[in-house]
């Protein structure tokens, strides 16, 4: 028999986090496990691309200390929901996606002696302190260390993040890096690039592509500058939306290249691969130093040559000139130079794209493989070693 896994997350918005959650749960169930979900009630009502709704409003208008105290207090509500799930379903183990000011999973683990894996996608205390500010740093810092140290094993998504977890006092033996992955059913097939271009009205263009939520720090304005000074057949396709959209469209208009920029807006998840299929070059212009970008693996699975910054978390996956083309993120001309090099060398594009696709296979960078790793870790914690395949 498979395991009964109690899966808990506190995500309310449907974005890249949602993809990770849905894909891993689907892969665990495909292995024969029963997954019991405890999640925010509003999560099921949200649509892909939605933000945090009422939570965003509270965060905007409440004093910082009051909002953080409410976050922490909500853990008592979460604990009660988790307790009810344990009593109703008698799970074998607990899998939790980490969030700040959320010790409920550790309380539950200790109360019911449940083996626990903690997935960590970001050093949230550090992240929020830098971008939003934290009113009660002592409480936030304590909760992060308490949660990281309390789990049986911690699963950061990069080696870079693993070092932060270890620095917080978690023994390295209890840290297992599991990168993000892809679903071959969605991103592993063969797509006709020219057909994909025709469907989007981009036939005859050399398409530079980006997927995801556009933010100011992504550096896409550099790509528009490049297009404005380059071959008129080069076109930038952005599959997604975000706060940087207005500035990019204004920049393109000012440079008289609006006709060479396409922004799709939010695209339904199952249609993303058909858009990426139109890319000649896939862009990962910038990324925080600890992240495991979903788009990177999706680009690679479809055999698209990737341009990305040469920083440690990216170099855990890509090797410059082999399965990706990397640039120095400190060089203001680095991104443009790398993109231009690929634009002018079709042979290099093909070699790098093919090597990227092989990397997904050789490194087992799929959600199914991630679910197998999770299963093996739980087997070591629970003593249950026979699972259906």
Same domain, 33 and 136: yes
Q: What is the pLDDT of residue 350?
A: 97
The pLDDT value given to residue 153: 98
Domain, as residue range, for 96: 4-181+366-382
- Burial class of 302 by CB neighbour count within 10 A (0 to 12, 13 to 18, 19+): buried
Q: What is the pLDDT of residue 52?
A: 53
- State residue 102's pLDDT score: 95
State how far the alpha carbon of 92 is from the alpha carbons of 36, 125, 127, 150, 328, in Å: 11, 30, 33, 18, 46
pLDDT of residue 63: 83
One domain for residues 199 and 159: no
In the chain, % helix, strand, coil (3-state, to 5) comes to: 50, 15, 35
Say how far residue 238 (Cα) sits from the centre of its chain: 17
Virtual torsion, Cα 258, 233, 326, 222, nearest 10 deg? -20
- Report pLDDT for 325: 98
User: Is 389 part of a structural domain of the chain?
Assistant: no
Looking at the domain assignment, is residue 388 inside a domain? no
**H or E element: which one contains 263?**
strand 261-263
What pLDDT does residue 132 have?
86
Question: In sequence order, which residues have a C-beta less than 8 Å from that of residue 161 and are 6 or more positions away?
Answer: 120, 121, 122, 123, 177, 290, 313
Question: Same structural domain for residues 340 and 212?
Answer: yes
387 part of a folded domain: no
Cα–Cα distances in angstroms (integers) from residue 221 to residues 101, 281, 289, in the given order: 36, 16, 20
d(CA 18, CA 268): 13
- 372 inside domain: yes
Pair (358, 370) in one structural domain:
no
109 and 18 assigned to the same domain: yes
Is the domain of 204 the same as that of 286?
yes
The verdict on residue 314 lying in a domain is yes
Task: Tell me: do 376 and 254 sit in the same domain.
Answer: no
**Beta-bridge partner residues of 94:** 6, 116
21 closest CA partner among 1, 4, 3, 44: 44
Q: Are residues 212 and 344 in the same domain?
A: yes
| Spatial distance between the Cα atoms of 101 and 159, rounded to a whole number of angstroms | 24
Q: What angle do CA 318, 323, 325 make, to 5 degrees?
A: 75
Same-domain check for residues 172 and 227: no
The domain total for the chain is 2
Q: Is residue 378 domain-shared with residue 357, that is, in the same domain?
A: no
CATH at residue 133: 3.40.50.2000
pTM reported for the whole predicted model? 0.92
Task: Report the pLDDT value the prediction gives residue 50, as an integer from 0 to 100.
Answer: 54
Q: Looking at the structure, do residues 83 and 222 belong to the same domain, yes or no?
A: no
Q: What is the DSSP letter of 116?
A: E
Say if 109 falls within a structural domain: yes
pLDDT of residue 389: 40
| Domain shared by 218 and 354, yes or no | yes
Give pLDDT < 50 ranges for the chain: 387-389
């Amino acid at each position: 028999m498979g395991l009964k896994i109690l899966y808990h997350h506190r995500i309310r918005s449907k974005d890249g986090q949602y993809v990770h959650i849905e894909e891993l749960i689907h892969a665990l169930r495909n292995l024969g496990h029963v997954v019991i979900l405890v999640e925010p009630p509003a999560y099921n009502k949200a649509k892909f691309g939605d933000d945090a709704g009422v939570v965003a409003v509270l965060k905007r208008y409440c004093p910082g200390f009051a909002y953080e105290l409410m976050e922490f207090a909500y853990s008592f509500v979460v604990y009660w929901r988790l307790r009810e799930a344990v009593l109703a379903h008698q799970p074998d183990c607990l899998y939790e996606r980490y969030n700040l000011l959320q010790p409920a999973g550790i309380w539950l683990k200790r109360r019911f002696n449940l083996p626990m894996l903690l997935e960590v996608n970001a050093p949230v205390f550090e992240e929020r302190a830098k971008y939003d500010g934290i009113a009660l740093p002592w409480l936030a810092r304590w909760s992060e260390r308490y949660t990281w140290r309390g789990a049986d094993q911690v699963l950061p998504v990069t080696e870079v993040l693993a070092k932060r977890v270890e620095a917080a006092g978690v023994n390295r033996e209890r840290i297992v890096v599991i990168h993000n992955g892809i679903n071959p059913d969605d991103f592993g097939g063969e797509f006709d690039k020219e057909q994909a271009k025709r469907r989007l009205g981009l036939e005859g263009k050399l398409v530079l592509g980006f997927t995801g939520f556009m933010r100011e720090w992504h550096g896409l304005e550099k790509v528009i500058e490049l297009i404005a000074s380059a071959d008129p057949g080069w076109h930038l396709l952005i599959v997604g939306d975000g706060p940087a959209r207005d500035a990019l469209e204004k920049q393109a208009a000012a440079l008289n290249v609006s006709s060479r920029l396409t922004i799709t807006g939010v695209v339904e998840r199952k249609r993303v691969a058909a858009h990426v299929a139109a890319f000649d070059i896939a862009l990962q212009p910038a990324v925080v130093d600890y992240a495991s970008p979903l788009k990177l693996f999706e680009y690679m699975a479809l055999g698209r040559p990737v341009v990305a910054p040469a920083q440690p978390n990216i170099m855990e996956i890509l090797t410059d000139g082999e399965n990706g083309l990397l640039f120095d993120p400190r060089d203001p001309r680095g991104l443009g130079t790398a993109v231009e090099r690929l634009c002018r060398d079709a042979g290099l594009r093909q070699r790098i794209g093919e090597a990227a696709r092989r990397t997904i296979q050789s490194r087992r960078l799929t959600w199914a493989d991630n679910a197998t790793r999770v299963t093996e870790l739980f087997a070591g914690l629970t003593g249950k070693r026979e699972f259906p395949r």
